[in-house]
Amino acid sequence: ISNFQNSAYPRKDADYYYISFPQGIWKEVLNTDNERYAGSGHVNDNLIYSDGTREIPLTIGPNSTLIFTKVG
């Protein structure tokens, strides 16, 4: 998932960035906005539980890329 805008979510005019995940349990394994990569720290630390039918709210930093892996 990539955000090519110079603004993060959540922000004042939009609460979160919503993504549909396939059914399963997902974990963020790479986030270029993580502070360890000199980012601003908009990370998703919790596991994401998806039934495959709804959109999941995510935190995403400006100009950043997130990679998730299925863990269950």
Q: Which tens digits make up the pLDDT trace of 40-70?
A: 999 999 999 999 999 999 999 999 999 999 9
Q: What are phi and psi of 61, to 5 degrees?
A: -80, 170
Q: What's the whole-model pTM score? A: 0.85
Burial of 27 (0-12, 13-18, 19+ CB in 10 A): middle
Tally Cβ neighbours within 10 Å of residue 50: 17
Closest-CA residue to 45 (of 24, 68, 19, 18): 68
* pLDDT of 14 higher than 80: no
* pLDDT of 13 higher than 70: no
* pLDDT of 16 higher than 90: no
